[in-house]
Amino acid sequence: MGKRIGFIGLGIMGRPMAVNLLKAGHALTVHNRSKASVQELVAAGAVDGRSPGGVAERSEVVITMLPDSPDVERVALGPDGILEGAKSGTILIDMSTISPQVSQKVAAEAARKGVEMLDAPVSGGDVGAKQGTLSIMVGGKQEVFDRCLDIFQAMGKNIVRVGEIGAGGAVKLANQVIVAGTIQAVAEGLVLGAKAGVDPELMVKAVSGGLARCGILEVRAPRVLDGIFDPGFMVKLHLKDLGLALTAGKALDVPLPMTAYVNEMFKALVAQGKGDRDHSSLIQVVEQMAGVEVRKKT
């Protein structure tokens, strides 16, 4: 039997995740700043909660998928927020990528009202969100995780409880560091080959069969070769995530030199007005530096 689930944040990732919850048979109440997404979900069978508090009033479990730490604090703790509408026993699952310390702060406030919390950020981009194949890294109590496993299974395939509250966010920041470095490496490799006169499609085919194979080559490279940079994950959001990772590195005395470099590359894209484009557009900065474009031959 499906659960009564609230979903707040129907962006590039949140909208398809919510759709998959509906497909799994859960009763869904939604809220989003942009009403077009709400109307789309209502047409598919969801209910408009009208506010975070309104969503919480109708739900056993409330999921948030929001851009940044201040957004989660405002939606959870602010006026007409989730905690105003939630009852004792409600579960809050934040699937945003935010500061682990903010997750712990919100969880502590939630506990005062008898609300349990999991931080459960995801990886897999818009493709994984649409296909229901996201990797979900979860922090929180084991028993709460167990109660929510069927919810996670409607949205993802690789679901791992990595520790207590805040651990999910810490693992997601590590994930974002690895993804950013891989995007940079793929960009440099493709530009190097293109400058040498190699057909980019053949180059991708060749290296994808060896140790260099990776999700970035598989999912992003074909779109890069077609010159398509519509966002699966926005540059400005990845820049935000790297800022969180660098802050964590400083606090933990962990040097992150590659992360700092790629952070500056993403800053360059934002300065060029490309913050809303896909993070794979980082290759355009490398192309500008090398004076060559990596595109499929026609």
Out of 164, 187, 209, a domain closes at 164
Q: Does 156 lie in the same domain as 27?
A: yes
Q: In percent, how much of the chain has pLDDT > 70?
A: 99
Strands 91-94 and 61-64: parallel
Q: Round to whole Å and give the CA distance between 2 and 20.
A: 12
Same domain for 124 and 248: no
What average pLDDT score do residues 30-41 get? 94
What pLDDT was estimated at residue 2? 86
Instruction: Provide the β-strand partners of residue 28.
Output: 5
Q: In this structure, are 135 and 223 located in the same domain?
A: no
- Same domain, residue pair 22 and 140: yes
Beta strands in the chain (DSSP E): 4-8, 27-31, 47-48, 61-64, 91-94, 116-119, 122-123, 134-139, 156-163
User: Would 280 be classed as within a structural domain?
Assistant: yes
Q: What amino acid positions are annotated as catalytic residues?
A: 172
Would 298 be classed as within a structural domain? no
Domain housing 63: 4-164
**Model confidence at 120: pLDDT above 90:** yes
Same domain, 151 and 268: no
Tens-digit pLDDT profile for residues 184-220: 999 999 999 999 999 999 999 999 999 999 999 999 9
Task: Assign 224 a pLDDT band (cuts: 50, 70, 90).
Answer: very high
Q: What is the pLDDT of residues 208-218, one digit of tens each?
A: 999 999 999 99
Q: Are residues 114 and 181 in the same domain?
A: no
How many C-beta atoms lie closer than 10 Å to residue 254's C-beta? 11
Last residue of a domain, one of 130, 164, 198: 164
Domain boundary among 118, 146, 164: 164
Closest CA to 161 of 180, 148, 174, 175: 148
CATH at residue 271: 1.10.1040.10
**Digit-coded pLDDT (tens) for 124-179:** 989 999 999 999 999 999 999 999 999 999 999 999 999 999 999 999 999 999 99
Per residue in 53-65, pLDDT (tens digit) is 999 999 999 999 9
- Give CA–CA dist 26/41, Å, rounded: 13
Whether 297 is covered by a domain: the verdict is: no
Mean pLDDT, residues 6-22 = 97
| Residues in Cβ contact with 46 at an 8 Å cutoff, skipping those fewer than 6 apart | 7, 18, 22, 28, 29, 30, 38
pLDDT at 298: 65
If one counts the domains in the chain, the total is 2
Q: What is the DSSP letter of 246?
A: H
Taking all residues of the chain, what is their mean pLDDT, rounded to a whole number?
96
Residue 97 resides in a domain = yes
Dihedral (CA of 194, 195, 198, 199) sign: positive
Q: Tell me whether residue 279 is in a domain.
A: yes
Q: What CATH number is associated with residue 106?
A: 3.40.50.720
Give the residue from 287, 61, 246, 225 showing the smallest Cα distance to 154.
Answer: 61
Assigned domain for 295 exists: no
Residue 19 and residue 159 share a domain: yes
pTM of the model: 0.92
| Helices first, then strands: H and E counts in the chain | 15, 9
159 and 176 share a domain? Answer: no
Query: Residues 13, 152: one domain?
Result: yes
Do 91 and 187 sit in the same domain of this protein?
no
- 219 lies in some domain: yes
* pLDDT > 70? residue 88: yes
Residue 199 CA, distance from chain mean position: 32
Q: Are residues 81 and 97 in the same domain?
A: yes
What's the angle, vertex CA 169, arms to CA 168 and CA 175, rounded to 5? 95
Q: How far apart are CA 292 and CA 288, in angstroms?
A: 7
199 & 271 share domain: yes
DSSP codes of every residue in 125-165: HHHHHHHT-EEEEEES-HHHHHHHHHHHHTTEEEEEEEEST
Residue 187 in domain: yes
